[in-house]
Every structure is written in C-alpha cells, then in structure tokens.
C-alpha cells in the first residue's frame, strides 16, 4: 500500500478529467509529441471545434531545443513550440483552419495569459475548455488557466511522457525530482496570483 503522502501528492499533481463538449482545446507548449497528439485525438472525437497551441520556447533556452519524441515522424525545422505542435496536429487530422496559434509564450503563465488575449481578440466567450498537457504538469496548467479564465469550466485531459505517471513517479529518482519540482513550482510561482486573488496586493 502506498504511503499517504504519496497518494496526496499524486492526487494534487496528477489532475485528470473525462473530456466534455467544449469550445476549445488548449495545448500549453513543449517538445513532446504526445501532448498535441492527445489534443488531436480529442478534437477528432468531436469534443471541441478549435485547438489553440501556445508556446515559443522555454525561457531558459532562448530557442526551440528540438523535438523530444517521435523525431522520425515530426522532423521539421521548427522555430517554435507552436509551430511543432501545429505540424503534429495537422499530421493527426486537425484541419489548419481550426488551429489558432500563439507563438510568444515562454512559460506556463504566459501560455494561459496569451491564450486569453487571443480568444478575447477573436471575440470568443469560452464557457468550457479542455487542456491537454503533460500529466505531471496538470496541476500548474489548471491553476494558471483558471486565473486566466476564471469563469470557464476547465477539463484536464493529460498524457504521460518520459515514463512519468501517477503510478510510477515515486519509483525512480528522476521522476520523483520532476514531480517534486512541480509541487514546489505550484506554490512558489503562483504566490503573486494568489495574493491578488485574496486581495493582499
């Protein structure tokens, strides 16, 4: 039996919902093909008519560092995460006309904030949205998109990458380090947003 603290961290970090009919699918940027593949799968199942991939590159790299999975299939000279995600989406059956790109974000908060700017600019009233992301990134994505879309019902539909899942993260040192890093970021990076939300600023 798992120790209680393992179960509690798992339930906090690895948020997951069944998809529901929505207005849009959000894809916070990255370099794993599994995330946009998941978005394409949900799109093709008819859960949402639009997909919004967001991302330039990681703020600490200064350039898109390259595709991490399935390079034999997704082998373009991608300048941004969004360009990479768009290629994956199209190769998996999403029509280009139904992809709305955001290619300036360099961290998760910007993914959410910039996505909101785009949907507002298009005059969209997002009542429901699906977020496809890495499973260990789910809590932080939910937090940031909740601040950017406070009146929107959000459904997290994640995918596992790098062999890290709710069942395995505590079994290997590198996986544990990744998840504990997410736990730390979920508190540290959101301090300002929480202070504003609670009226402390």
Cα separation, 65 vs 146, whole angstroms: 28
Q: How many CB atoms lie within 10 A of CB 189?
A: 15
pLDDT tens profile 151-189: 999 999 999 999 999 999 999 999 999 999 999 998 888
pLDDT tens profile 126-145: 999 999 999 999 999 999 99
Predicted local distance difference test score (pLDDT) of residue 71: 97
Angstrom distances, CA of residue 51 to CA of 34, 43, 127, 169: 15, 8, 15, 29
pLDDT band per the 50, 70, 90 thresholds, residue 198: confident
Cα separation, 139 vs 131, whole angstroms: 11
Predicted local distance difference test score (pLDDT) of residue 6: 96
Residue ranges of domains in the chain, CATH in brackets: 16-163 (3.40.50.620)
End-to-end CA distance of the chain: 44
In the predicted structure, residue 82 carries a pLDDT above the cut 80:
yes
Q: Provide the whole-model pTM.
A: 0.96
> 107 near 19, Cβ under 8 Å?
no
């Amino acid at each position: 039996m798992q120790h209680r603290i393992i179960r509690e961290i798992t339930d906090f970090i690895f948020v997951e919902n069944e998809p529901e009919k929505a207005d849009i699918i959000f894809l916070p940027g990255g370099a794993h093909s599994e995330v946009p593949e998941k978005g394409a799968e949900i799109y093709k199942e008819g859960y949402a008519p639009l997909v919004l991939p967001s991302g330039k590159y990681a703020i600490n790299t200064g350039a898109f560092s390259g595709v991490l999975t399935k390079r034999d299939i997704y082998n373009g000279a991608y300048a941004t995460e969004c360009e990479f995600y768009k290629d994956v989406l199209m190769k998996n059956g999403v029509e280009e006309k139904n992809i709305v790109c955001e290619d300036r974000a360099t961290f998760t908060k910007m993914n959410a904030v910039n996505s909101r700017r785009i949907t507002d600019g298009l005059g969209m009233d997002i009542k429901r949205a699906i977020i496809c992301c890495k499973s260990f990134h789910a809590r932080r994505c939910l937090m940031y998109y909740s601040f950017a879309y406070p009146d929107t019902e959000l459904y997290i539909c994640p995918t596992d990458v790098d062999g890290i899942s709710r069942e395995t993260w505590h079994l290997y040192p590198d996986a544990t380090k990744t998840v504990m890093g997410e736990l730390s970021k979920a508190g540290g990076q959101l301090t300002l947003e929480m202070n504003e939300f609670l009226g402390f600023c």
